[in-house]
Amino acid sequence: MANKKNADSKLQGISRLITDATIGVTDLVESMHKRVVHPPFLPSTPIQHLITNISGIAYKNMRWSTRRIGSLVDIALGKFVSVSGKIKSTEERDVLQSVLNGIIGDYLEKTKNPLCITMQFRNEGKAIPLDKKSITKAYPVIHGKIILMVHGSCMNAMQWTRKEHNHGKVFAEDLEKTPIYIQYNSGLHISTNGQKFNELLEELVLHWPVPVEELIIIAHSMGGLVSRSAIHYGQQQKKAWTKQLKKIVFLGTPHHGAPLEKAGNYLDVILEAVPYAKPFARLGKIRSAGVTDLRYGNLLDTDWQNRDRFEMQKDQRQHVPLPKKVDCYSIAAVAGKNNKSGIPKLLGDHMVGVKSALGQHKNPEKNLNFKKENIWIVFESNHLDLLSNPKIYSKIKAWIA
């Protein structure tokens, strides 16, 4: 029955999202209409003002009708009962929900949309309440050594399994450690997720059924930034869990930003600068706070507070060094073959450049300074291959065993 209610609430979430999108498109069309009727840099006549006033009434009615119909559909879906009485969640649906959260997750949370993902620990696709009884029920065998698996942007806990391989599960078998997976809304600010992760980790350690001997984090992509943010806030607050953290492995983490978001920022500026294209600039500003944080790799609230995140700005992050007394490792993937041209390294894994993944910055003061023996570049692997490449598993195993 719980699955049924969950599925119904997600249907309502989709309905609300469609309603919001329709209103957004109406706003965009009205804005374009005004641009056409009132050309930039030219005075407007009374007739032109009359045209926009009349059309404004039509657009207002369209928005009202959309909201009214949307509310009726929402009520209907709330009462909807399937023929079977049960709607099972599918992997495809969960993937789509994760992508949606990555792109507009901050908006979903702001509007309290049922599609919004709440941060939680999971195992085998099921949420784990943080009390000893629930944790014991989730794990038939519990070790004092825990491996925390932190996914990347637009992904979820189940997507650590790729090509029938899951780093966490295999490490649990090979090294006798207990794997636990965090799932979070990757559309929120990285610092927001970092602080939530910090609080959940403290609860996890306090309620773990056996004494915690060791915490190891394996983080993919954005997950590495969320983990670094959590460690920073945790150490500031002197949380107990930070004393148990021994090692962290970063897989394709954009420590100094990702090129796609930087390109998106340039597009914002270009659209804003062209008078007739200016209304379309709002489309570029749909992307979430989590995505814009990837421009430079923001970790803290102060990196984004009191700033327009869509404005063209220089890297103004507060430098956050790697945590002391924690062994830190980083793997960068390169989609191309290893050759002398240097171009494959420049392109990286098509999502994150090699230098960013290895924490290297043109400003020496911002270098993360991983130990030479703690970094590795794997060729002929893309961003997702970091989850399944057997060579990468072997390298991580050698580091954390």
DSSP annotation string for 257-279:
--HHHHHHHHHHHHHHHSGGGGG
Residue 85's pLDDT is what?
42
* Structure-token match 């507009």, residue found: 104
Residue 28's pLDDT is what?
45
**Cβ 189 vs Cβ 298: under 8 Å:** yes
Residue 112's pLDDT is what?
87
What the block records as the tokens of 53 is 């006033």
pLDDT, tens only, 96-128: 788 878 888 898 898 888 888 999 999 988 999
Percent of all residues in the chain with a pLDDT value above 90, rounded to a whole number: 55
Beta partners for 166?
A: 161
Query: What sign has the CA pseudo-torsion 379, 384, 387, 389?
Result: negative
pLDDT confidence band for 262 (50 / 70 / 90): low
**Cβ 273 vs Cβ 166: under 8 Å:** no
Q: What is the rounded distance in angstroms from the CA atom of residue 344 to the CA atom of residue 334?
A: 6
pLDDT at 168 over 80: yes
Query: Tell me, what DSSP letter sits at residue 309?
Result: T
C-alpha closest to that of 179 among 122, 225, 222, 132:
122
**Cβ 304 vs Cβ 293: under 8 Å:** yes
**Cβ 322 vs Cβ 306: under 8 Å:** no
User: What pTM did the predictor assign?
Assistant: 0.79
Q: What is the mean pLDDT of the chain?
A: 80
pLDDT at 386 over 60: yes
pLDDT, tens only, 40-79: 555 666 665 555 555 555 445 444 444 544 454 454 444 4
Residue 348's pLDDT is what?
84
pLDDT confidence band for 310 (50 / 70 / 90): confident
Task: Count other Cβ atoms within 10 Å, centred on residue 233.
Answer: 21
Q: What is the rounded distance in angstroms from the CA atom of residue 116 to the CA atom of residue 106?
A: 9
Q: What is the rounded distance in angstroms from the CA atom of residue 153 to the CA atom of residue 262?
A: 16
- Average pLDDT of the residues in 317-332: 96
What the block records as the tokens of 228 is 């670094």
Q: What is the rounded distance in angstroms from the CA atom of residue 147 to the CA atom of residue 170?
A: 11
Q: What is the rounded distance in angstroms from the CA atom of residue 187 to the CA atom of residue 292?
A: 9
What the block records as the tokens of 208 is 């773990």
